[in-house]
Structure 1
């Protein structure tokens, strides 16, 4: 096994790693503080496209976690960067919330339901039959199908709820067109994030709570990977996958001394 370089940049998932159901995970505050004190580049990532980075910073502030806006990277931001690189100044019909529409507006995109370049599906709590019908017809008419993330379910206090991946499957079935997913585990989201903070995969690490998104994204991007047990994964579930994380730890608190 090739010996890796010392970790000089950190990427960490948010839900299940730093917070759980609106409550900070013990050690998250100390981990973030030590990162900022060290001066090492870092990003907090989320596949959730509902909120803008400013929204997320406020939510984290209320939980006692200090993360600058520029250190928050969402699937909405990655999606906006992707479509801007493919078709600058384009148009899109969007099913999603402010986090996605704001990101698209900031790169110069126009929202339109008339012959749009893209149909972009993101996270929302108000998926409507009318919007999904419109999406199907626009894709059939030639709009390219993009999704912010592939997560099939999301967490809630009452239990799992349908997420972007589930709605994408419905639209794909109706159109026969599969979407391109931008968020984790797509390495594109990771590479754009690393570029944003001026870091390189050879000496960066990814911390996450999911094998199918966080660990896979880190692995395919060439990062050292840490799987924590405070979210959706268990030690028993690791063996269900044909790949493994570089390290398995109980929580983010176990990584403080590595910074």
Structure 2
């Protein structure tokens, strides 16, 4: 039996990746950094459309609504329909609504999260809410931490949009949602329930929106601890791109491996 070389193995895996019907893609570190489009992304999107692929941008970023994400890409020169976006804010709102319809929440987060909660009938309450909900926010401060701790100690349940400790930006790696939740968890002794990737809830929703079986789909992301583990546990082929957080050096820390590693999505189009 002739053993394939590493290069031949990578080419075979790349062809397998290209043959999938559906793609779940992260955004930060895969499509852009901040307001900068990453190399080859336009070619990748054109390839998806040209080959009639089904694709969904499944992002743990909770700050923007699908419409805002669609407009952000439009400003960068990419035209993608709003239906191709699903965020951790939408997943969080859906989860809380399924647990306690008509409940109220004290929210530490950006408009994308607040609007998602409003849309499913969850009202804002800073006196006796059912939930304290935390997502990414630029104006995070000590008073918010104090208020959240007081409400949780009174009985509110703690939910967070995603478990990312850090994220990529124009300025390098910056703190993300879990870093904001950590002081509240430490001060109250309560563990937040994290809704976004790698929670299977969000991945199952993504596959339903794609209407593709897990065996015919691939997860493309830049993080081993959210994207790749989420894809692995959901039965998808996984593609790690080195354009974001994870590097060839730090993937050695994890017991699982992506199916294929690429420099970026620019390597996917034929």
Length-normalised TM-score, structure 2: 0.89
Shift in Å at residue 96 of structure 1?
0.3
Query: 1:133 matched to which residue of 2?
Result: 146
Matched, 1:105 2:105: no
Cα distance in 2 between the residues matched to 1:134 and 1:78:
24
| Number of corresponding residues | 255
Q: 1:36 to 1:25 in 2, by over 3 A?
A: same
Task: Identify the match of residue 217 of structure 1 among 230, 233, 238.
Answer: 230
Question: Cα offset for 1:101?
Answer: 0.6
Q: How does 1:50-199 map to 2 (within 5 A)?
A: 50-199=63-212
Give SS of 1:83's match: helix
Identify if the C-alpha distance between structure 1 residues 36 and 90 changes in structure 2 by more than 3 Å, giving closer, same or farther. farther
Change (3 A) 1:25 1:107: same
Following superposition, the deviation at residue 40 of structure 1 comes to 2.7
Question: Does the Cα contact within 8 Å between 1:33 and 1:66 map onto a contact in 2?
Answer: no
Matched, 1:39 2:60: no
Partner SS for 2:58: strand
- Match of residue 7 from structure 2: none
Q: 2:24 aligns with which of 5, 8, 11?
A: 11
2: distance between equivalents of 1:200 and 1:140? 43
Matched, 1:240 2:243: no
How many angstroms does 1:22 deviate by?
A: 2.0
Choose 1 or 2 for highest CA Rg. Answer: 2
Residue by residue over 1:39-97, the C-alpha shift from the partner in whole angstroms, topping out at 9 and shown as x without a partner, is 33211122111111111111111111222111111111111111112112221111101
CA contact (8 A) 1:8 1:203 kept: yes
In the TM superposition, what is the alpha-carbon distance from 1:162 to its structure 2 partner? 2.5
Aligned partners of 1:230, 1:91: CA distance in 2, in Å? 39
Query: Tell me, what secondary structure is at the counterpart of 1:248?
Result: strand
C-alpha distance in 2, partners of 1:237/1:88? 41
Deviations 1:138-167 (A, max 9, x none): 111111110001122233433433321112
**Conserved? CA contact 1:13–1:214, under 8 Å:** yes
Task: Measure how far apart 1:197 and its partner are.
Answer: 2.6
Separation of aligned partners in 1, 2:261 and 2:86 = 24
> Does the residue aligned with 1:155 lie in a helix, a strand or coil?
strand
**What TM-score do you get using the length of structure 1 for normalisation?**
0.92
Gaps of 5+ in 1: none
Q: In 2, Cα distance between the equivalents of 1:7 and 1:107?
A: 33
Distance 2:78 2:58 in 1: 14
| Partner Cα separation in structure 2 for residue 75 and residue 234 of structure 1 | 24
- Runs in 1 of length 4+ with deviation above 6 angstroms? none
Q: Distance in 2 between matches of 1:109 and 1:195?
A: 24
